[in-house]
Amino acid sequence: MLDRLANWLRKIGHSAIEGIWRLGYAGKFMLLTLLGSGSSFTRIGLVVRELYYTGVRSLVIIIVSGLFVGMVLGLQGYETLQRYGASSSLGVMVALALVRELGPVVAALLFASRAGSAITAEIGLMKATEQLSAMEMMAVDPISRVVAPRFWSGVISMPLLAAIFNAMGIFGGYLIGVVLIGLDEGSYWSQTHAGVDFRYDILNGIIKSFVFGIAVSAIAVFEGYDSPPTAEGVSGATTRTVVTSSLVILFLDFILTSFMFRGV
Partner 1 sequence: MQSENFLEVKDLNFTYDTRPILKGINMTIPRGKVVAIMGGSGCGKTTLLRLIGGQLKPSRGHVKFDGRIIHELSRRELYETRRKMGMLFQFGALFTDLSVFDNVAFQMREHTDLPESVIRDLVLMKLHAVGLRGARDLMPNELSGGMARRVALARTIALDPMLIMYDEPFTGLDPISLGVIGNLIRKLNDALGATSIVVTHDVLESFQIVDYVYFVSEGAIVAHGTPEELQKSTVPFVHQFIHGEIDGPVPFHYPAADYPEDLALESGNA
Q: Which residue, 145 or 240, has its beta carbon nearer to partner 1?
A: 145
| DSSP 3-state percent helix, strand, coil across the chain (nearest 5) | 90, 0, 10
Q: Which residue, 140 or 180, has its beta carbon nearer to partner 1?
A: 140
- Min dist CB 140 to partner 1, Å, is 5
- Min dist CB 195 to partner 1, Å, is 46
Q: Which residue, 131 or 235, has its beta carbon nearer to partner 1?
A: 131
Torsion of CA 223, 209, 263, 258, to 10 degrees: 10
Task: Kindly state the DSSP code that residue 88 receives in the 8-state scheme.
Answer: G
Q: Which residue, 141 or 253, has its beta carbon nearer to partner 1?
A: 141
- Min dist CB 262 to partner 1, Å, is 47
Distance CA 195, CA 7 (A): 59
Q: Binding residues for partner 1, per CB under 8 A?
A: 126, 129-131, 133-134, 136-141, 145
- Min dist CB 134 to partner 1, Å, is 4
- Min dist CB 186 to partner 1, Å, is 51
Distance CA 114, CA 153 (A): 14
Distance CA 164, CA 148 (A): 25
Of residues 56, 75, 66, the one with CA closest to residue 102: 66
Say if CB 200 and CB 225 are below 8 A apart. Answer: no
Q: Which residue, 127 or 208, has its beta carbon nearer to partner 1?
A: 127
Contacts of 20 (CB under 8 A, 6+ apart): none
- Min dist CB 130 to partner 1, Å, is 4
Distance CA 75, CA 64 (A): 17
Q: What is the 3-state secondary structure (H, E, C) of 28-79?
A: HHHHHHHHCCHHHHHCHHHHHHHHHHHCHHHHHHHHHHHHHHHHHHHHHHHH
- Min dist CB 137 to partner 1, Å, is 4
Q: Which residue, 130 or 184, has its beta carbon nearer to partner 1?
A: 130
Contacts of 67 (CB under 8 A, 6+ apart): 168, 169, 171, 172, 175
Half-sphere CA count of 6, side-chain side, radius 13 A: 3
Q: Which residue, 14 or 193, has its beta carbon nearer to partner 1?
A: 14
